[in-house]
């Protein structure tokens, strides 16, 4: 195995995960980026994930297909449910059951194959407080489980789950990314982006993003339809 410091980075093509990728690169990691084709409505995400991975200098970008839409339960995968355009209380309908758990599990498998001891994910407890799998206590429990699940764990290597955005507001995330040279025009955050990656400007994700650029006092490069 090479002596380079390898990491698996979960990259959705959105603003958060793109910032995380820039952070991991700045820390000297050889970055293996992982995206999922899971029946999400916003397929423009996958194109954006490929674009940002290339621009930010990944070693390899992999897209794993899995049909999470077959288990249903979220407005992001179930076409019978509407994406809400107003703020909602509690766990949002855009929450995909066990999504982060599934994604990090597959990242764990790839990390094991690569001999990587680090996984980066852009979860955030500030903006996504309604998602159970975006909380620090959940991430800590996943890390404990991961270290019992794998060959590396058995052999005494420590696998770490990095969540550098956990306690950051959207404005701080954008300011950090801009400082690292991230071009946010490459990214797509909208839950119902069109094929060209243009955003609705109305969904939860668009509202948070737009507010973030205002807070960071950075020009919003998002193309709206």
How many angstroms separate the CA atoms of 81 and 51, rounded? 29
Q: Rank residues 22 and 159 by Cβ distance to its own copies and give the closer one.
A: 159
Which residues bind to its own copies, rule: CB under 8 A? 62, 64-68, 70-73, 91, 95-102, 105-106, 108-110, 112-113, 132-133, 135, 137-138, 141-142, 144-146, 148-151, 153-154
Cβ atoms of 22 and 181 within 8 Å: the answer is yes
C-beta of 112: minimal distance to its own copies in Å? Answer: 4
Does the annotation flag 31 for ligand binding? no
Residue 14 marked ligand-binding: yes
> Which residue, 158 or 221, has its beta carbon nearer to its own copies?
158
Q: Quote the least distance from Cβ 153 to its own copies, whole Å.
A: 6
**Pairing mode, if any, of strands 6-10 and 118-120?**
parallel
Q: How far is the CB of 189 from its own copies (least distance, A)?
A: 23
Residue 20 known to bind ligand: yes
Q: State which residue, 132 or 171, has the beta carbon closest to its own copies.
A: 132
Tokens standing for residue 210? 């737009």
Which class for 96: exposed (0-12), middle (13-18), buried (19 or more C-beta within 10 A)? buried
**3-class state of residue 10 by DSSP:** strand
* Annotated binding-site residue? 153: no
CA pair distance 39, 6, nearest whole angstrom: 29
Least distance between its own copies and beta carbon 8 (Å): 10
- Say how many C-beta atoms besides its own lie within 10 A of residue 46's C-beta: 19
Q: Which is nearer to its own copies, 66 or 179 (CB)?
A: 66
Alpha carbon of 19 to those of 23, 153, 158, 202: distances in Å?
Answer: 6, 28, 24, 23
To the nearest whole angstrom, how small is the minimum distance from the Cβ of residue 148 to its own copies? 4
178 labeled binding residue:
no
Complex with its own copies: residue 80 or 137, whichever CB lies closer: 137
Residue 15 annotated as part of some ligand binding site: yes
Which helix (H) or strand (E) segment is 215 a member of? helix 204-216
From 216, 167, 199, 218, select the one nearest 14 (Cα to Cα): 199
* 18 labelled binding-site residue: yes
**Annotated binding site for Zn(2+), which residues?**
190, 200, 203, 206
């Amino acid at each position: 195995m090479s002596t380079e410091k390898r990491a698996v980075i979960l990259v959705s093509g959105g603003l958060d995960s793109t910032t995380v990728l820039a952070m991991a690169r700045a820390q000297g990691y050889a970055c293996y980026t992982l995206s999922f084709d899971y029946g999400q409505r916003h397929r423009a995400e996958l194109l954006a994930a490929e674009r940002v991975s290339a621009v930010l200098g990944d070693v390899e970008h992999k897209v794993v297909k899995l049909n999470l839409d077959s288990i249903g339960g979220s407005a992001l995968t179930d076409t019978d449910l509407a994406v809400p355009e107003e703020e909602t209380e509690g766990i949002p309908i855009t929450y995909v059951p066990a999504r982060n758990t599934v994604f990090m599990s597959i990242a764990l498998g790839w990390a094991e194959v690569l001999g990587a001891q680090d996984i980066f994910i852009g979860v955030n407890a500030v903006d996504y407080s309604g998602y159970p799998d975006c909380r620090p206590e959940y991430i800590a429990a996943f890390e404990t489980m991961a270290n019992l699940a794998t060959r590396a764990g058995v052999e005494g290597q420590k696998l770490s789950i990095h969540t550098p955005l956990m306690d950051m507001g959207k404005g701080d995330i954008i300011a950090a990314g801009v400082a690292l040279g991230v071009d946010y025009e490459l990214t797509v955050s909208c839950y119902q982006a069109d094929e060209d990656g243009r955003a609705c400007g109305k969904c939860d994700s668009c509202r948070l993003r737009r507010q973030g650029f205002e807070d960071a006092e950075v020009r919003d490069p998002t193309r709206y339809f």
